[in-house]
Amino acid sequence: MSRAYVSVGSNVDREKNVAAALDRMQSEFGELQRSRTWETAAVGFEGDPFYNLVVAFDTDMKPLELAQLLHRIEDELGRDRSGGKFSSRSIDLDLLLYDNLVLDEGSLKLPRPEILEYAFVLCPLAEVAGDMKHPLTGFSFAMLWQHFDPTAQPMWPVEH
């Protein structure tokens, strides 16, 4: 079994789509470890605010197989891919880490580069895997978050 870390994001019917994605992943993988949900402004385009969080779970699926399943779940939940990378989305499920694997196969890059680029990925990842070390930098995710400038991308925890 391997530990997978997946970012979950939505800015279209956020509560419904995030809940549906979490339900779908839990039925597929069992218990999910999850960060808090964070609200963030859209980055790279004008759009409604996002809900973002990170979940972790154990799986015996191979990384590419897992990424393909996440893609299918997005499709099941009505993901429209016509708008490009920087556009509104019903659901976005990105495989961030698969144990400590470093991989670059076509569209799948592990660890996912966005971990070091966006507060809405790094902060919730640090919540669920703070002691884990980034496979390329060697620094823990908690340390990376401590040194990240959070003012560049403001975030607010969502109260449930």
Which CATH number fits the domain that encloses residue 113? 3.30.70.560
In tens, the pLDDT along 51-94 reads 999 999 999 999 999 999 999 999 888 766 566 665 567 899 99
Determine if the pTM surpasses 0.75. Answer: yes
Give the model's pLDDT for residue 70: 97
Give the model's pLDDT for residue 1: 96
Q: How far is Cα 53 from Cα 34, in angstroms, rounded to an integer?
A: 7
At a CB cut-off of 8 Å and minimum separation 6, what does 90 contact?
10, 12, 13, 17, 74, 77, 78, 79, 80
Domain count along the chain: 1
* Domain range enclosing 43: 2-157
Longest CA–CA separation in the chain, Å: 40
Query: Residues in the chain with pLDDT < 50?
Result: none
